[in-house]
Amino acid sequence: MGYVIQTEHLTKSYHTGAGDLEVLHGVDFALEEGEFTAIMGPSGSGKSTFMNILGCLDSPTSGVYRLLGEEVEKLSPDQLAERRLHYLGFVFQGYNLLPRADLLENVALPLLYAKVPAAQRKKEAQEMLERVGLGPWSHHRPAQVSGGQQQRAAIARALVGHPSLILADEPTGNLDTQTSDEIMALLSGLNDTGITLVLVTHEPDVASYAKRLTRFRDGLLVEDCPVTDRRRP
């Protein structure tokens, strides 16, 4: 089996007023299909920068990133858009839903970008909302539902292109413990169906749902090991 994700000596520098600031110093990382890793590490250690590169939301300064065997830097914009829809889904701490659109429209958005016809968009978005337990809420706007439900809708949006990989950057960061556990049960269940999962979290309790733990410090991957006492929903 090939790797879903593979990075070779990935670096990232930001241009700042004070000059170039390197925040990833050469990260080698690989993930096979079906894996579920939790990325932990202090604030500012480069976790989000790394996730944004994995999610093709940002590009590395140097090094190689392969997504399902293909070098992302070599893809055309059209190829990249197609991969974004069908290979990966991204879940953010703040849900990032459009406030004026209902949940159905939010979940259907990636399909709109992919020019899927309206009737099919609606049908597939409704199916995904049902999969995350939000079937009856499709015509509510984000502000009319709870934080946990908003995150479920964001997960449905990440799933709508049937990706092989879900990237979640602190998805439970704004949620109470019980709601966090519900979201982790949902994400663990997706991994059980074969979806590869990368999750960033500060919480050891949340990380313990994962099969593997990847630790960052000061822009470097400093530890990568199996989770021994894995928590199951």
- Which residues of the chain form contacts with ligand ADP (CB under 6 A)? 14, 16, 21, 23, 41, 43-49
Closest by Cα among 64, 27, 84 to 217:
27
Residues 42-71 that bind Mg ion (CB under 5 A): 47-48
Shortest Cβ 192–ligand ADP spacing (Å): 27
In the list ligand ADP, Mg ion, none, the entry touching 16 (Cβ below 5 to 8 angstroms by class) is: ligand ADP
Closest by Cα among 165, 171, 158 to 32:
165
Shortest Cβ 127–Mg ion spacing (Å): 31
Indicate the SS3 state at residue 169. Answer: strand
Q: Is 149 in the site for Mg ion (CB under 5 A)?
A: no
In the list Mg ion, ligand ADP, none, the entry touching 46 (Cβ below 5 to 8 angstroms by class) is: ligand ADP
Shortest Cβ 20–ligand ADP spacing (Å): 10
Nearer to ligand ADP, 14 or 113 (CB): 14
**14-41 burial by CB neighbour count: b if 16+ within 10 A, else e?**
eeeeeeeeebbeebebebeebbbbbbbb
Shortest Cβ 172–ligand ADP spacing (Å): 15
Closest by Cα among 190, 196, 192, 188 to 167:
196
Distance CA 202, CA 42 (A): 8
